[in-house]
Each structure stands twice: as C-alpha cells, then as structure tokens.
Chain A
C-alpha cells in the first residue's frame, strides 16, 4: 500500500513535510477538539448529503477529516495535463457519436455499445451545441496506487457533484488554521465559481445577443445535491430555478419572475435528461419544461451538460477512453485506465466468473457505489447472487481488480491512521478549458475499507496542490 505521507522506511515524502510538522506540533488532543469544532460549523452552515437506503437521518453530514491530502506542484502538472486531455477526448467522442460516427466506422468502438446505450439520445443526432461542447463540467475520478501511478477509475460527464465540498473544505481549513496558508504555499481554489460562470457564459446559444443570463436548474430541495445547487448558484450570482419556474415561448426559454418573464440563455442542468422535457422524453413525467429540448436543438437556449452526454461516461464506454485519446488527438494517454474486463465479451466474462473473489464487479450504468460486488470482502451468498446476475445479463457489468488505493493520514478515534482515498477534479469546458488546482478527496473512514462513496460511509478532505 502506498502511503502518501510516509514511506516504509519512515521517511516523510516532501509534499507532506508541512502537514507532518503541523500534526506533530498540534497533538492529538487538539486535533480532536478542532475536528469537533469543524463538525459544529458544518452543521451550522447546513451542508448535508442525502443518503439513500440506509435508514436513520437521511440528511446526514458528510464527515470531514482535518488532515489535508497533498499533491506536489510536479504531480499536479501531470494530473492537470492528463485531466484536460481526457476531458477534450470525451467531448470529441460525444461530437463524433452525434455526427459522423468515425470512431465506430473505424471499428474502434462497437456501434451497439453506443446506439443501444440507455444514455444515448438519438434526438441529439446532428445537433451543433455551442463550441461543440457536450460535457461542460467533467468530473474524473482518479486513484493513486504508487509514487507515479495514477489511474482513472471513472468519468462523470453529466452532473458530477461534490465541488461544493472542495470549496467548503478549503474555506473551513483556512478559517480554522490560517497559519497553514499564511505563506501562500497552497494553490487557491476559490476562483472555481467564477470559472464556472465564465464557462457557462461562453456557451451561450446563437440566439443570445447580449450578456448571457445563466441559471442553475435543480429538481428541488428533495434532491440529494440540492445544497450544492443552491451553493453554486449563490456563488456565481445567478438564479436557482426549478422546472416550474421556466417555460418556452417563441423559440426561446423564459424564467418567471416577479418583474415578468426574463430570458434564459444558459441552463446549468442538474436534472437527469429524462426529466427535462416531458414532450421529448417521458410523457408521464411531471417534472420538466415542455418544449425545452426543441428550443435547445433550435439554438434558443444552451443546456449544460447536453442531453445525451452520459453516453461518454458509461462504464462500458470508459474502457475505450484511451483509444479515444489516440484516435481524436493522436496523443498518448497521460492518465491510464484501471484494467477492466468487459463482461459483454465472452472470454472476459468467463474470467470474471472464475475470479469473483479477487475482483470488483460494477453495473455499467450504476453510480455512487450501489449495486457493486467487492470480491475480497464478499460473502459466498453475495458472490452467488452476482454469478446469477452476470449470467443473466453479462453486458450490464464490468469488472476491475481490487486496487490497492493510496492512503493518507486521517484522524481516527484512537490516533492517526492511514485511510484510503480517491480524487475527483472538476474540469470546466467552454470555449476554453479551465481547471482549478485541486478537487475533492474522498476518504474511506473505516480502517481497511476501499469504498470512499459518501453514501457508503466515506468522508472528505481538503486537497492541497503546492505552489512551485
């Protein structure tokens, strides 16, 4: 296991020198006290995350761990290049899929995987989104397994959430430990809301002539990420709207306000495609803005992300992202994929069935750590259940080796323990590309656990990128 702070010989890795010094200087008792204070502050601000299917208080607080996760400037340079490269390839793939389909004609990605994909939207065929951007906020989940080994676990092209934690975690660290940031050794992340707003303004539709009016579209307060929706709208200084606040007329989109209807040019859409327009997708849906999808396709408003962007972040498509980088950009992938077996392939599936105890099996369309099997931690009963599922619908699953995720020092009930982490940066794609140095580090708080999802008992940490 790769410990990001200290090597086996006990030497401290240079990026963590300052953190180590701070931990030793503070002492456990103080850290525990400050941790309780941090939790009290979070509770007062009201950052919560709805957790499904676990009973108890659904509006639970995501545990925050005080000890930051650190990247050196050199590490970040490489990550930055790799993330941008991947975000560019994913958007190129989406443009291609909804136009000429070159990557399928070239025999690289199977047609069936794209056109039969639940996330593929045939009605997006031929549509020209502004800047040819489909996924404007690309969240790329990255794990580390060694000094130089970074691997992409999955891509999130629709509505990656969690950026509010990146901002809040930094805010609280700076408030509680100003001295840690006093020497300016840590790159700032606070320009993210401005960057997001600029990105959204850059993809205003052809029909928008003046200053673009941007809104954040949320399903409403019952949604698990509602806090983030309102937080981002607030920081960008734009309206937070629900579907019933919007309507279309004369080929444009409008927002109901107390001063009468106001034009809407760009919608940062935090609603699933299926629920944006009952005329286009689900006639039985009560959510949605009738006609919105036609107005979008006719260039009257921009939807971010574009409907149908999800076809690029499907876990079966994921396996082809390195090929996309080579195909569209003639570049070598900077960040590798985790080796993945596609159960749709007969040989791969046989291998997976024979090695269930060692592998992590995931549903192709699943997310949030639901519906997966972690081989080494599984019971015989769970494996039998997955064997049946795999045989019934192999194309619905992929499998990956259980990764030896890197660990970072974390405040535990008794002392400080190494806990596994992953990382989600947020790459913004408009006419230009923007990436703040940082992201969301998720940590598996249970000792030995590899599941970092907040829905499964994971926590979060501040992520530092050191200045040069």
Chain B
C-alpha cells in the first residue's frame, strides 16, 4: 500500500525562545515492512538532515535555532510503500536485542505487571506469549484519552485501568521485559480511513528468536501490517519521542501536532501541488 504522510508539529514560545535546540527522530527507516519512496524533514522551512543513525536503527538530527524564536514548525512528509509482513520485521539496527531488556522509569514492572507476565507465561512459545500479553494488556486497560499524561508510568496506568496508546505500549513492553523478552517502544503512523488519527500512534516491538523484531499493537490487538508506518523506536515514549527540545526557564511552550495519513488520492494531490 502506498501511504502519504504529513506530520506537522508547531511550537509557540512566550516570550520568544532563545537558543532553542531540538532533537529530531523523524526519519522513517526502510524495513521489511516498508520502503521509503520520499521523505523530507524541514524546520522553519529549512531542510533538516540526520546527523547519525544509532545502533537501534533510528536516525537523529539536532537543530539549533540561535535567533529568538516565537514560533517554529517542524514538518516531516513522505511517501512510503508498505507491505503486510504480519508484523515480522526481522533485524532492525545493529544493537544486540538483549539490550532492550533494560527497564526505564516509565516501564518499570511492579507486582501487577509481573502478574500479567506470569499469566502470559502459560502459553506455549514466545510468540503466543506476546499475543496473550497484548490481549491481557487490552483487557486491563480502557482506551480513554485524558486519564493519563506523558509522565504516567506503566505501573500507574495499569493501576488507573485506562490510558492511551502510550500507556498500552508501556504496559506491554514492561510486561514483556519481565517475561525476559526484549521489547521496545515504537512511534509511527496508522492509516485508518474510518477514524483518521490526527496524531502519531505507538505500539510495541518484541524480539523473538528466529523471527527478529515483531510488532504488536495492544490498542487494536493486531500485529502492524500495511496500514502502519514505523517512524522511530526507543526504550520508552520519552526516548522514542520524535521531537525533544530544550527550553529555558520562564518560557511558556505551546505545541500543536497535526498528522495526516492517506492512501491513493492524497498522493496525487501532492504530486499536483
């Protein structure tokens, strides 16, 4: 499937930010499930190019805006050809998968998360265990925007019993690691003509011997297929964040995100434009 993506992030600062730095993880990689036909990132209209690609396969750029910045827009747009690999992506990045057993503040397993892991451990084989874990996560959480925020940990979300894709994913990777399965957080885009998302989506990847990295979307209870575009990964949401910035004390920041994912006709429009 050919998907066209436009991902705009607009920041406004009051008073204007001085010496603003942004780290961008906004460069969709080629994987077994996606080929990148076009991809460009710009900041304030200027193109931004990656400085490096890390061992997890994520390209990063660091941009410094030295002039006082009242408003700036970061735009990533591209055309991606996707394929259905049933979520199986094989090898992505050079790092040993075992590194992704590392826990973080946001993904620390508590007693309740360990209990989920124990329940899934009854299944035969890691793949079945991961599917079960994904189902258990979805059972334990209601999808409810506003119940949690960006700093909510996996354990807190599970205790609250609701959250958004970030929380579902945190719970799933925390439990997967507790099971001894390397897992990571993935940010990307989802094409859903019925209910178009205006933001990025998040899901988990687990490393399963013999298959490599396999995606699991605990919100939709599927393995990401041709309607998904993978953007970047990390140990948790904060690490995988497509944009991270510095801000001086005393400055108010406002952020607005707009994501559009379309198939077919959008791409023509873009070619005409």
- Answer yes or no: A30 CB below 8 A from chain B CBs: no
Interface stretch of the complex, out of A5-13, A157-165, A247-255, A341-349: A247-255
Cβ-neighbour of B246 out of A123, A126, A290, A297 (below 8 A)? A290
Task: Give the total of A residues in contact with B, Cβ under 8 Å.
Answer: 28
- Answer yes or no: B98 CB below 8 A from chain A CBs: yes
- Answer yes or no: B235 CB below 8 A from chain A CBs: yes
> What is the 8 Å Cβ interface bit string for chain B, positions 248-264, against chain A (1 contact, 0 not)?
01000000000000000
With contact pairs A125-B54, A283-B246, A298-B51 given, residues A247 and B64 touching in the complex (Cβ less than 8 Å): yes
- Answer yes or no: B21 CB below 8 A from chain A CBs: yes
- Answer yes or no: A279 CB below 8 A from chain B CBs: yes
Q: Which residues from chain B contact A190 at a C-beta distance below 8 Å?
A: none
Q: Which residues from chain A contact B249 at a C-beta distance below 8 Å?
A: 286
- Answer yes or no: A51 CB below 8 A from chain B CBs: no
Chain B 187-226 residues near chain A, CB threshold 8 A:
none
In the bound complex, CA of A104 to CA of B99 (Å):
11
Q: Tell me whether B21 and A101 are in contact (CB under 8 A).
A: no
With contact pairs A111-B98, A120-B102 given, residues A294 and B51 touching in the complex (Cβ less than 8 Å): yes
- Answer yes or no: B10 CB below 8 A from chain A CBs: no
With contact pairs A116-B103, A126-B95 given, residues A295 and B62 touching in the complex (Cβ less than 8 Å): yes
> What is the 8 Å Cβ interface bit string for chain B, positions 10-34, against chain A (1 contact, 0 not)?
0000000001011100000000000
Task: Give the total of B residues in contact with A, Cβ under 8 Å.
Answer: 26
Our count of residue pairs bridging A and B at CB distance below 8 angstroms stands at 71
Q: Which residues from chain B contact A111 at a C-beta distance below 8 Å?
A: 98, 101
- Answer yes or no: A52 CB below 8 A from chain B CBs: no
> What is the 8 Å Cβ interface bit string for chain B, positions 96-123, against chain A (1 contact, 0 not)?
1011011100000000000000000000
Q: Tell me whether A115 and B62 are in contact (CB under 8 A).
A: no
Q: Tell me whether A100 and B96 are in contact (CB under 8 A).
A: yes
Q: Which residues from chain A contact B235 at a C-beta distance below 8 Å?
A: 122
Cβ-neighbour of A294 out of B62, B94, B99 (below 8 A)? B62
Q: Which residues from chain B contact A125 at a C-beta distance below 8 Å?
A: 54-56, 94-96, 99
Chain A 243-288 residues near chain B, CB threshold 8 A:
247-249, 251, 278-280, 283, 286
- Answer yes or no: A322 CB below 8 A from chain B CBs: no
- Answer yes or no: B60 CB below 8 A from chain A CBs: yes
Q: Which residues from chain B contact A115 at a C-beta distance below 8 Å?
A: 98-99, 101-102
Q: Tell me whether A251 and B94 are in contact (CB under 8 A).
A: no
In the bound complex, CA of A313 to CA of B238 (Å):
28
Closest Cβ of chain A to B53, distance in Å, is 9
> What is the 8 Å Cβ interface bit string for chain A, positions 97-137, against chain B (1 contact, 0 not)?
00011001000000110011000101101110000000000
Q: Which residues from chain B contact A120 at a C-beta distance below 8 Å?
A: 102
- Answer yes or no: B266 CB below 8 A from chain A CBs: no
- Answer yes or no: B86 CB below 8 A from chain A CBs: no
- Answer yes or no: B244 CB below 8 A from chain A CBs: yes
With contact pairs A248-B64, A279-B244 given, residues A294 and B52 touching in the complex (Cβ less than 8 Å): yes
In the bound complex, CA of A101 to CA of B103 (Å):
18
In the bound complex, CA of A295 to CA of B99 (Å):
23
With contact pairs A115-B99, A125-B56 given, residues A283 and B244 touching in the complex (Cβ less than 8 Å): yes
In the bound complex, CA of A297 to CA of B22 (Å):
17
In the bound complex, CA of A120 to CA of B96 (Å):
14
Interface of A is mostly: loop
- Answer yes or no: A291 CB below 8 A from chain B CBs: yes
Q: Which residues from chain B contact A251 at a C-beta distance below 8 Å?
A: 51
Q: Tell me whether B99 and A279 are in contact (CB under 8 A).
A: no
In the bound complex, CA of A112 to CA of B178 (Å):
12
Closest Cβ of chain A to B69, distance in Å, is 14
With contact pairs A115-B102, A283-B246 given, residues A249 and B23 touching in the complex (Cβ less than 8 Å): no
Q: Tell me whether B102 and A122 are in contact (CB under 8 A).
A: yes
> What is the 8 Å Cβ interface bit string for chain A, positions 160-201, against chain B (1 contact, 0 not)?
000000000000000000000000000000000000000000
Q: Tell me whether B94 and A126 are in contact (CB under 8 A).
A: yes
Q: Tell me whether A116 and B101 are in contact (CB under 8 A).
A: yes
Q: Which residues from chain B contact A278 at a C-beta distance below 8 Å?
A: 246
In the bound complex, CA of A416 to CA of B19 (Å):
60
In the bound complex, CA of A290 to CA of B62 (Å):
8
Q: Which residues from chain B contact A297 at a C-beta distance below 8 Å?
A: 52, 54
Q: Which residue of A lies closest to B58 (CB)?
A: A123
With contact pairs A101-B96, A278-B246, A290-B246 given, residues A249 and B52 touching in the complex (Cβ less than 8 Å): no
Cβ-neighbour of A295 out of B51, B98, B238, B244 (below 8 A)? B51
> What is the 8 Å Cβ interface bit string for chain B, positions 117-151, against chain A (1 contact, 0 not)?
00000000000000000000000000000000000
Q: Tell me whether A291 and B23 are in contact (CB under 8 A).
A: yes
Closest Cβ of chain B to A140, distance in Å, is 28
Q: Which residue of B lies closest to A120 (CB)?
A: B102
Which residue, B19, B96, B244, B249, has most C-beta atoms of chain A within 10 A?
A: B96
Chain A 271-324 residues near chain B, CB threshold 8 A:
278-280, 283, 286, 290-291, 294-295, 297-298
Q: Tell me whether B96 and A112 are in contact (CB under 8 A).
A: no
> What is the 8 Å Cβ interface bit string for chain B, positions 55-92, against chain A (1 contact, 0 not)?
11000101010000000000000000000000000000
Q: Which residues from chain A contact B60 at a C-beta distance below 8 Å?
A: 294
Q: Which residues from chain A contact B96 at a C-beta distance below 8 Å?
A: 100-101, 125
With contact pairs A278-B246, A279-B62, A279-B246 given, residues A290 and B98 touching in the complex (Cβ less than 8 Å): no
Q: Which residues from chain A contact B55 at a C-beta distance below 8 Å?
A: 125-127
Q: Tell me whether A280 and B54 are in contact (CB under 8 A).
A: no
Q: Tell me whether B95 and A294 are in contact (CB under 8 A).
A: no
Q: Tell me whether B23 and A279 are in contact (CB under 8 A).
A: yes
Which residue, A104, A122, A125, has most C-beta atoms of chain B within 10 A?
A: A122
Q: Which residues from chain A contact B245 at a C-beta distance below 8 Å?
A: 279
Cβ-neighbour of A126 out of B54, B98, B102, B103 (below 8 A)? B54
Closest Cβ of chain B to A188, distance in Å, is 43
Q: Which residues from chain B contact A294 at a C-beta distance below 8 Å?
A: 23, 51-52, 60, 62
Q: Which residue of B lies closest to A297 (CB)?
A: B52
In the bound complex, CA of A335 to CA of B39 (Å):
55
Q: Tell me whether A290 and B21 are in contact (CB under 8 A).
A: yes
Q: Tell me whether B54 and A123 are in contact (CB under 8 A).
A: yes
Q: Could you write out 23 A-B pairs with CB less than 8 Å apart?
A: A101-B96, A104-B98, A111-B101, A115-B98, A115-B101, A116-B102, A116-B103, A122-B95, A122-B102, A123-B54, A125-B96, A126-B55, A126-B95, A247-B64, A278-B246, A279-B62, A279-B245, A280-B23, A283-B238, A286-B249, A291-B23, A291-B64, A294-B51
Known: A125-B94, A248-B64, A290-B64. 15 other contacts (CB 8 A): A101-B98, A112-B101, A115-B102, A116-B101, A120-B102, A125-B56, A125-B95, A125-B96, A126-B94, A127-B55, A251-B51, A279-B22, A279-B62, A294-B23, A298-B51
Report which B residues bind A (CB closer than 8 A): 19, 21-23, 51-52, 54-56, 60, 62, 64, 94-96, 98-99, 101-103, 235, 238, 244-246, 249
